[in-house]
Structure 1
Amino acid sequence: ALATTPPALGAPPSFTPPPAVHPYPATPARPTTPPPGRLDVARAVDEVKKLLGEGRITQAVDILGATLPAAAAEHGEHSPVVRILRKQYAATLMDDGQYRRALPELRRLADDRTAEAGPADTQALQFRYDAAQCLEQLGEAGAALVEYRAVLPYYENAYGPITSDPGRALDIRHRIGQLLLAVGDHTAGRAQLQALLYDAERTYGPHHPLPVDLRRLLSHQRDVRGG
């Protein structure tokens, strides 16, 4: 039998490999600029500062009012940037005489700050004082009285953190006295103002505008009401 001759080794038949297939799609490059329509808080704040510097308070209010909910959605209701915007918004509303719109913003700021730092915190008390001013300006004398009376002890506390300025306590007492007169409680109002006159003269001297105004007001009350 003839021996079978093995096939000669040579080059393999011609073969074209298939195109390479990537197991994962290429990751698209991240955009380097915010997508159109995304809130630019820093730009909005700069625009507000510019408008306020030009005295265009109402336009600044409009921008802040539009920026605040968008910032809250992006950063969270309790984020520092939203708190800063809310403070600016409330202050600008007050400057524009929009007390009814400022009031809920101030109450929210006061509640958040009180929960975070306690009721004696300086910022929390300032927000409550500003809220009382809004109530006073809106003609809600009874509600303003409640708010002023609630914050007054913190300003009168000799061992509290905010006793360096006696003027705030005297100012609140002045407002309380005038509001008592406004709601028709003339006896309590006059007693409040008389006690305040004594303390104001002791603090500032008799010729300071506050004692001068108190003497005029008390004299007018005596002329009108007698006594």
Structure 2
Amino acid sequence: MNDVFLYYSENASYVFAQFVRHFLISLYGVIFAAIVAIPLGFFIARKGNLSKILIGIANVMQTIPSLAMLAILMFAIGTGPNTVVFAVFLYAILPILKNTVSGINSVTPALVDAAKGMGMTRFQLMTKVELPLAISIIMGGVRNALVLAIGVTAVGTFIGAGGLGDIITRGITVADGSAIIIAGAIPTALMAVVADFVLGIIENKLTPRTFTKV
């Protein structure tokens, strides 16, 4: 561990820069996926066949190994961080879409009928009934997507995206680079744990507040 701390002390600014780069690539991909998947989930939630088809397509995309996905995208749109952001976007679609559909379908039909009987518009129904009741399940999908994204981004080093994967691969390519590998692996794992913890707090904060508005 002394060698790890020595590496951090000598390369603190570099490690921090790669940490921020890694996190932003992961975050952007998940945000873009949420922008697409959450509204799409609301739209297809009660459309059985369409829901199965789209979730099936997203599921197929996620079964592709991350390195293979990056290789395919590299030939299509080139190398660099934008390619990794797009890969993260594709991988993050499934957990967010699936959880959104599950969350909406978990809303009791009687509540939906009551809201319609009160004269609520479709938008009011989504924002005042369905979203508050489904938010915890949707946030669970976002949490899973972000943790997955952090792992995918680590592989992005192979196509020149940077991030903490650069540190890990540098340790692999040098003699006796175990300390460098650990120096890259620790912040990567820490990022995933902290991201999951923080989103868990946000989820707990959102759920009571939205429920009290219903």
Shared fold (TM-score, shorter chain, > 0.5): no
Q: By percentage of residues, which structure has more helix? A: 2
Q: TM-score, normalised by structure 2?
A: 0.27
Greater relative CO (CA pairs within 8 A, separation 6+): 2
Q: Which has the larger radius of gyration?
A: 1
